[in-house]
Chains A and B, each alone.
Chain A
Amino acid sequence: MSKLDIHDLLYKVEKPARYLGNELNSVHKSIDETTVRFAFCFPDIYEIGMSHLGMQILYHLLNKEENVFCERVFAPAIDMEKIMRENNLPLFGLESRESIRHFDFVGFTLQYELSYTNILNMLDLAGTPLFSKERGEDDPFVIVGGPCAYNPEPIADFCDIVVLGEAEEVMVEIVKAYKEMKANTYSRRSFLEKIASIQGVYVPAFYDVTYLEDGTIEAITPNNQHAPKKLKKRIIQNLDEVFYPEEILVPYLNIVHDRVMLEVFRGCARGCRFCQAGMIYRPVREKGVERLKNLTEKLLASTGYEEISLASLSTSDYSNLDSIVRHLIDEYEKDKVGVSLPSLRLDNFTFELIQEIQKVRKTGLTFAPEAGTQRLRDVINKGLTEEDLRNAVEKAFSLGWNSVKLYFMIGLPTETYDDLDGIRDLAFMVADIYYETVEKGQRGKGLNVTASASTFVPKPFTPFQWHPQDSLEEIYSKQRHLVEKLKRRNVTFNYHDAKTSFLEGVFARGDRRLSKVLAEALKAGCKFDGWHEHFDFQRWMDVFGQAGVDPSFYANRQREYEEVLPWDHIDVGVTKKFLMKENEKAKAGVLTQDCRTNCSGCGINTGFVGGIC
């Protein structure tokens, strides 16, 4: 393989620093014919992909292995892609500037459904055969993982290997098995058969899917004796012992999350019924404070970053939050290192802590009631009351905040227009509290309340996986209703484009028949569908038409409990029985307690972790 000369092209593209590959803490290795080449691909532009913690972990983890060289690849921006295609320049690894066409592994992280066309476009740019069945002995293995890999069926036909669950151990096992076999007797098929029995490895080609006349699935059956009937996800038992990078890549460009991200725990004990992450990442496992202190010191020293963020699904639930935050402030305030805490919940919102953080750097204030009425919040198991919000904003306003963001979802199961009016009531209540709490002379720049509403997308492995998604017409009418109702000075209402949520809904719960839709979409030029300026809904509808696939079959159809779901052969630990029970409780508006208070019997502690979580 030879190094591509991209120097002259860099003068012609926007933000050429995306393509340099020599950022601080990037890894460059000498290559020989025994080197296992791994392309870690993120199917979006550099600024998004570089913000992804999983990439930082796996990049450094794989490069720690002897004779394994993992490089990064991001979706080239539109201008770069155009120039690459004009110059017949294939997709290349940023570090080596070599084509990834004959790498051993080409890995993609599946972060959101709307990036699927970018995956196909990147395979196309790389010159790799699109479908798994078209690849031969000299082609790379296309390997995918990440949250959307729990239902990888819509893209299963393009993938050779799917990693289910947390990848730190299983990735190394796969690469080691590959190295070993390469040195002895090796064929593509024998390798896939060998790894098919590793927990967390799913080889889609080893499974057949049959369908019933009504279009639903009849059965998903293994067609290879090495393939297990039920595929269990992989989890890391001890987060203090698992690999975490002590150096992370520091970009030249300003990226979306431009800071040290320190993972404090995995999983979430809350059990919100709409939330896929809360179900698939169970159980809760924390990193200890000492480990966090140690990592912080090394990461700040190796990067020089001015900000550190404590990352998790719900950071205020970390049991030693107070102690770690105080440590960070005491230790690093002199270096002006700021601390940010994303994903705070307002029911245990610790203002004393926030004030501590404010001493160093100002952070915004965001609350996520998700639904407008207590009834609907009970349905989704968001155990949060109006009183909680009232207390939190009262305190916030009295401490000098004057800008509050409120996040809601529309289209939740059982939602009525009364629930929508509840969104208005909450937003207006927040505004009223401001005028009650803050004296006229103290109001400064004045109040700013932003309410935003995204469209609910039912996801696999949640209690709402059987629910129809609201049709576009229903969502539009709900959005119009809210626009009318939320007219008030100092209150801003935003809503997200429902069309992208519809497409997300189709692919989230889709099956293998969607692969031909994706292949057609690639031909039609669909890419960067998550980007408003590139998303073309009509083109997508034409593609569905040409492929003879009805998207509403996937998005808007009520599924029965008896139906075989496309992801039924995958075991994330949470049982289908539990999800059904939760769905019934949702309909009855009955809450389920936090699993640290009372085990809800989801199933994760039988078979994945012994005894209690």
Chain B
Amino acid sequence: MKLRSRFSKKGDLIFISHLDVVRLFERAMRRGKIPISYTQGFNPHPIMAFATALGVGVESEAEYIDIQVDEKIETDEFISRLNAVMPGGLKILMSQYIDSSEDSLMAILRRSIYLVKINLEKTFDEEAIKEKINHFLTLEEIIEVKEKKKKKGKGFRRDKNKVQETNIRPLIHDLSLFSMNGQELILKMNLTTGSSGNLKPEVLVRKLAEETDLPIILDTVRINRLELLKEKDGQYVTLIEG
């Protein structure tokens, strides 16, 4: 039996890594006496899977996890037992049983919605900002150059740093000015996430600063993930419906 749950990650807990979250869930399952299933073999692991990793320092309203259990536990009971042993900052918001034949969270994930707070070095009026964003969105190509680290090991490839160029424009589905207060802006964005491509909001913000002349202070960018979406009948909907 598989339970699909949505949880939030806030406060100081935004500073723990994805691997830390995995460990934290494993231990919380034991403390909360959740009848989670384990893999077979010498090194048994609890059977659980996340939709996607969340970067360190990113807040989220909508993370998802699938947990396989050996015996049925009421979802309300599951939520309250788990939340009782979770640290403040991580909270299960909803859970539902899914058919074990359903695709994994990772397989169905398509998009993320973010709110991103940025600070500008000087004030601009709202129209000017919107115009710059619109200009950015009219670009057909926005190339992100990623230098892949040297391959460790033997062979001629070792000496070459591979450079990968990606056009990130097709990964941006929406970008708008959500609100502003002086030099502080909040952008809302809808970006491709998951196995079919992945665009991190901080990369978009950096490209926005490069492609327009918006003087964004890059080391104070603060990101909040609002939702993760899958595709259903041509529509984008949240990973747990209902």
Contact = CB atoms under 8 A, between A and B. Distances in A.
Interface residues of A, number: 28
A16 B29 contact: no
Contacts of A336: 38, 44, 46
Interface string B145-180: 000000000000000000000000000000000000
B216 to A, nearest CB: 15
A450 interface: no
Interface string B194-216: 00000000000000000000000
A10 B26 CA distance: 25
Contacts of A78: none
A372 B229 CA distance: 63
B72 interface: no
B23 to A, nearest CB: 7
A190 B206 CA distance: 62
A250 B30 CA distance: 13
Nearest to A301: B31
B24 interface: yes
A21 to B, nearest CB: 8
A361 B38 CA distance: 13
B16 A362 contact: no
Contacts of B17: 15, 17, 253
Contacts of B220: 8
Contact of A304 (B16, B28, B44): B28
Interface string B13-55: 0011101100110111111000000100011101000000000
A11 B24 CA distance: 21
A10 B15 contact: yes
Which label, helix, strand, loop or mixed, suits the secondary structure of the B interface?
helix
A335 B27 CA distance: 11
A152 B56 CA distance: 41
A202 to B, nearest CB: 39
Interface string A302-327: 11111000000000000000000000
Given A16-B57, A17-B20, A253-B20, A304 B42 contact: no
Given A10-B15, A17-B15, A336-B44, A302 B31 contact: yes
Which residue, A22, A358, A360, A361, has most C-beta atoms of chain B within 10 A? A22
Contact of A306 (B12, B30, B88): B30
B20 A306 contact: no
Contact of A335 (B16, B30, B42, B88): B30
Contacts of B26: 304, 306
Contacts of A15: 17
A500 to B, nearest CB: 26
Contacts of B42: 358, 361-362
A24 interface: yes
B30 A22 contact: no
A435 interface: no
B85 interface: yes
Given A336-B38, A362-B42, A250 B57 contact: no
Nearest to A251: B20
A303 B31 contact: yes
Contacts of B99: none
Nearest to B89: A22
A167 B207 CA distance: 57
B103 interface: no
Given A11-B57, A252-B24, A253-B20, A304 B30 contact: yes
A23 B89 CA distance: 12
B140 interface: no
Contacts of B57: 10-11, 16
Nearest to A10: B15
Contacts of A301: 31
Contacts of A20: 12, 15-16
Given A22-B88, A252-B24, A362 B56 contact: no
Nearest to B39: A336
A12 interface: yes
Nearest to B24: A252
B87 interface: yes
B233 interface: no
B219 interface: yes
A86 to B, nearest CB: 13
A254 interface: yes
Interface string B48-84: 0000000011000000000000000000000000000
6 contacts: A8-B220, A252-B24, A254-B23, A303-B27, A306-B27, A362-B43
Interface of A: 8, 10-12, 15-17, 20, 22-24, 250, 252-254, 300-306, 335-336, 358, 360-362
Across the A-B interface, the 6 shortest Cβ-Cβ residue pairs:
A304-B27, A304-B30, A16-B15, A304-B31, A252-B20, A252-B16
